[in-house]
Chain A
């Protein structure tokens, strides 16, 4: 069985349908992205899988256990990093980790070793005796992740892990997520940040208004939803813009100095045509740059298409 299997999962809040009969699965060792705008149903889904929100309809299996019927077993094998860094402010980093470990019944000697290991891994050794409230936002985020890993969970749920972080802290958290996944941990990451999902995840599922509206690898999603790409070319000799505009697949062409900027729907066939035209004139291409659609444009397009 896959690490996470979701079947017709549904959540109503007082009649409001927050998650609408969604089904999907996550493979062991996968870094899975659950992407959607605010209020799409991402956090509700994670909370249902972790037992923090009741399931209205459907079922799920997390590491083979049902949150409906075997919640205690689910809790033993998962770690959750919520969107708020919610450790105990008056406790030190060390005390927070030790408390988390004690609650999972880890033996003292093993727990001490594990706490040191996590502080080193998250680069927080010098903050060992600092209170949680004294840490920076980025450090708080790291310690919250460390506390979720103290019992060596099989699956880690990360809910908006970099929300509110500056660029440097965000990159540090991203590199930590990659490292954890490279070491075999299955990660379920929810985010509204398309760059985060595209940068980190092998597979992405897009949710909007409680429904799954798209799924695939970042490349697949880009290919499927980008629609058009921008091709910049220049030649060693003269060629007219009218001639280039007539090439099939060129949506729009413009000239800027000695180069052309083309909006194209099928870049490969356009490039082949351009090479052919250049050869027939005994000139050659001296610059080609293909820029894919921006990730945000892809995301808006996915959401927009669903709206339509």
Chain B
């Protein structure tokens, strides 16, 4: 068990060194959430509604972009197979990949946190809970990114496929439009999107209120979905073996 965790940590360390400066990581992981945040700020959105969404969004894009860079690039260069040759389980490999995305997600969200702090003057409702929500959300998104990157067959199309999944999520997951104001059938779709739970969890920790999902549900869902995505990613890795 300890060997598996150690191996996952080394994979994460290697990924951070290798992919930190890759264009998709920089443009979609850091620049896009920042530009998005600034655009909303300039249009004068209500800060209490906007801040949790922006923070979750930066975590979302930071974490998933890193997975796209690390797995899609490695599969194209045939270096992903190197990981399968090491004496570590496929779950360990998936966890290592998720960890690097997790760390990068945390790092990329610091810029958004700084904006929230400086420009929106919001002090968190519960700092410890906020940290827990950030960790849970980053884990959830990173493992989701790992899973999505196995759905990409042509690396050249990676970002198109990723964004075709990510953008609809933004509009349906409480970041811009409250779920409570969505038509009934779309609200159900929203509840099926993991991002909704992260936004709700971060919203509660940041401003002390939520839209429709209470923190007793939203916070555990982020961690449970992390484990579920990780398990599914392990299955996807197994399926790469012909």
* A interface with B by C-beta (< 8 Å): 13, 50-54, 72-73, 75-76, 80, 82, 84, 86-91, 95, 99-100, 102-105
Contacts and interface: CB of A to CB of B under 8 A. Distances in A.
A104 B83 CA distance: 11
Contacts of B81: 52, 82, 86
A86 B87 contact: no
Given A52-B241, A103-B88, A86 B19 contact: no
B14 interface: yes
B156 interface: no
B242 A86 contact: no
B185 interface: no
A159 to B, nearest CB: 11
A54 B14 contact: no
A54 to B, nearest CB: 6
B234 to A, nearest CB: 14
A51 B77 CA distance: 19
Interface residues of B, number: 25
A256 B79 CA distance: 57
B126 interface: no
A86 B78 contact: yes
Nearest to B15: A88
Contacts of A103: 7, 10-11, 83, 86-88
Contacts of A51: 84-85, 241
Nearest to A79: B85
Given A50-B85, A54-B242, A88 B79 contact: yes
A50 B84 CA distance: 10
Contacts of A76: 87
List the 8 closest A-B pairs by CB distance, nearest first.
A103-B86, A102-B10, A86-B79, A75-B87, A86-B78, A90-B18, A76-B87, A99-B14
Interface in B54-93: 77-79, 81-89
Contact of B77 (A54, A89, A105): A89
Interface string B184-197: 00000000000000
A95 B17 contact: yes
Nearest to A47: B242
Given A52-B85, A53-B242, A104-B86, A90 B77 contact: no
Given A80-B85, A87-B79, A105-B3, 10 more contacts: A52-B85, A84-B78, A86-B78, A88-B18, A89-B18, A90-B21, A95-B17, A102-B10, A103-B83, A105-B87
Nearest to B238: A54
B78 A82 contact: yes
A80 B86 CA distance: 10
Given A91-B17, A103-B7, A75 B86 contact: yes
B81 to A, nearest CB: 6
Nearest to A105: B3
Nearest to B86: A103
Interface string B1-25: 0010011001101100111010000
B76 to A, nearest CB: 11
A107 to B, nearest CB: 12
B84 A90 contact: no
Contacts of B17: 90-91, 95
15 contacts: A51-B84, A72-B87, A75-B85, A82-B78, A86-B77, A86-B78, A91-B14, A91-B17, A99-B10, A99-B14, A100-B86, A103-B11, A104-B86, A104-B87, A105-B3
B88 to A, nearest CB: 7
Nearest to B83: A103
B14 A88 contact: yes
Contacts of B21: 90
Nearest to B20: A90
B80 to A, nearest CB: 9
B6 A105 contact: yes
A100 B86 CA distance: 8
A72 B11 CA distance: 17
